[in-house]
Amino acid sequence: MLATQTAEYSVKDIVKSFGGAKALAGVSMSVSSEEVHCLAGENGSGKSTLIKIMSGVHAPDSGLITLAGKEFAHLSPRQAVNEGVQVIFQDFSLLPNLTVAENIALPTNILKSSKIVGKRETRKIAEEALGYIGVDIDINSPLVETSIASKQLIAIARATNLGVKMLFMDEPTTALTRKEVNKLFEVVDQLRKRGVAIVFVSHKIDEIQEICNTITVLRNGEVVAEGLMSKFKAKEIATAMTGSEIATSRIAPPLGKDSRSLLELEKLTSKNTFDDVSFSISEGEIIGLTGLLGSGRTELAEAIFGKYPVDAGCIKVDGKEVTLNSPEAALASGIGYVPPDRLTQGLFLEQSILRNIVAVGLDRQRSRWGAISKSKLAKIGSSWISELRIKTKNPINPVSSLSGGNQQRVVLAKWLSINPKVMILNGPTVGVDVGSKREILEIIRDRAQAGMAFLLVSDDIPELVQICHKVLVIRHGKISKEFNDKQISESAIYKELN
């Protein structure tokens, strides 16, 4: 099924341009079997282009691809698969309405050109593949009902079935909890021991250090650092990626002594999701909320935004008790919410950056007769574009033309533009590169200093440690632990989570 002796998979001096812009300017990288190689770099550094060249999606302008001794000037996708190159993309490219077994066996059946597919055969293929990577998932359940972590493992199983010799994993841990990451790492390690060359693409430096043996860092289409993982310190990797030093220590903005409390939850309860949750956030305070997937953290955040039903308890905004049974009510009380999925919940992708920024505040811009002045909207849009340093040539461009970090800033601008008292941020830095992340955290800090109260729901523990005054851990719908200013540390929070 897999390669048995050490093999080299490499690219040499790869150049690739798109319409005059160089995405890759002579990149070389080498990965051998039984090795987990980290490919790091910010968005737009050329990681995706490199993956696409090695998997046959793009043909390079020049350069050489060598797969286990065979040399190619360029690959077709079919050739890449035949040579054992597999990619697990962030969206997994699985089929939601098929069962787990069908998803795993489908590509195998297609490659064999089977016209008729037997259920028993399908199940056998799936069971073997899952057994091979040592994972236990109900193969008969429909894919939609499986967790993101399981989908990740199912995608790996599917790849092993196709005789994978080199596996690209594109930010595989983005949506996983620490526990699930541990399981994933076990599987990755097992694949490595069985002779698969693995390329692990990630932004998360602590995870890279944990799982990878070697590293290549790209910046602006060039290799800026490479070598054995053990030679690099976390800070050096971050510096290589961004080209500048990044502070990782705690910098929570100072709190006023007698700041009033802006949001108070008292024994907030929603049947079967969260129970007896009480906490308060005062002016300028940033409170972190973390928990595993399914712990009730997103439901709690959406309940405060009026999007999830509450059965008991009460919410006070700025001292007044409010009924938040709809987002309209939440908005009227001064609560804003940045949802977790930027692409489907946060943005109007094909619409202009400008229209996205003014989306929430539209009604407030109405003059008499209900008219809206275009120049006024343009003014508001441009002022937020410069305020949050959104990188764009023209605010009329569709928001889909922006990079992930800039898109997230547009979502932030949309809410900041109406100046809410309380901002709830759900995973504001997911899928955002290191540099953008730092700037987004800075924006949050600045606003907090100006008096806005923040609830930061996140999986990213280092980020919580960096800017929160207090971190709450939610478990099975209950606040299981509260870390105060002095108690906050990554290790303590990880320990509480697992």
Partner 1 sequence: MNELRNRFASSALLSDRKVTQLMGFTLMVLLIFSYLSSDIFFTPENFTSMAFQVPEIAILSIAVMLSMLTGGIDLSIVATSNLAALLAAYILTKNMSEDGEITNLWILMACLAGILLGLICGGINALLIAVLNITPILATLATLTLFNGIAIGLTNGVSISGLPEQFTRVGNGTFFGVPTPFVLMVFIALLVGLMINRSSLGLKIFLIGTNRKAAQYSVMGDKRVIAWTYVISGLLSSFAGLIIASRMSAASPDFGNSYILLAIVIVVLGGVNPMGGFGTVTGVVLATIVLQMVASGFNALRFNQFFYLAAQGGVLVLVMILNVVLENRRRSKSVNKSLES
The letter for the amino acid at 479 is I
3-state secondary structure of 423: strand
x/- map, 304-323, partner 1, by CB under 8 A: ---x----------------
Kindly indicate which of the ranges 128-136, 279-287, 395-403, 446-454 contains the residues binding partner 1, using the contact rule CB under 8 A.
395-403
Burial class for 204, CB neighbours closer than 10 Å (0-12, 13-18, 19+): middle
Residue 57 in contact with partner 1, rule: CB under 8 A: no
- CA dist., res. 484 & res. 402, Å (int): 37
Q: What is the largest CA-CA distance in the chain?
A: 76
CB of 310 to partner 1, least distance (A): 18
Site string for partner 1, 7-36 (x = CB under 8 A): -----------xxxx-x-------------
**Residue 245 one-letter amino acid:** E
Q: Which of residues 97, 249, 344, 484 is near partner 1 by CB under 8 A?
A: 344
d(CA 72, CA 33): 19
Contact status, residue 94 vs residue 151, Cβ threshold 8 Å: yes
391 binds partner 1 (CB under 8 A): yes
Choose, by CB under 8 A, the member of 398, 435, 451, 462 that binds partner 1. Answer: 398
User: Mask of contacts with partner 1, 413-452, x by CB under 8 A?
Assistant: -x--------------------------------------
Q: Which CB, 66 or 382, lies closer to partner 1? A: 382
H-helix or E-strand containing 102?
helix 100-111
Decide: is 491 part of the binding site for partner 1 (CB under 8 A): no
Considering only 120, 193, 393, 486, the residue that binds partner 1 (CB under 8 A) is 393
Q: Based on CB atoms, which residue is closest to partner 1, 34 or 387?
A: 387
Least distance between partner 1 and beta carbon 307 (Å): 8
Rounded distance, CA 160 to CA 177, Å? Answer: 24
Q: Which of 156, 153, 158, 141 is nearest to 99 (CA)?
A: 141
Choices 104-112, 199-207, 261-269, 353-361 (CB under 8 A): range interacting with partner 1: 353-361
**What contacts 254, CB < 8 A, 6 or more positions away?**
449
Measure the CA angle with vertex 475, ends 471 and 477; round to 5°. Answer: 105
Total site size for partner 1, rule CB under 8 A: 54
The count of other CB atoms within 10 Å of the CB of residue 301 is: 23
3-state secondary structure of 163: coil
**Residues contributing to the site for partner 1 (CB under 8 A):** 18-21, 23, 44, 307, 327-328, 330-331, 337, 339, 344-351, 354-355, 358-360, 362-363, 365-366, 370-375, 378-379, 381-383, 385-386, 391-398, 401-402, 414
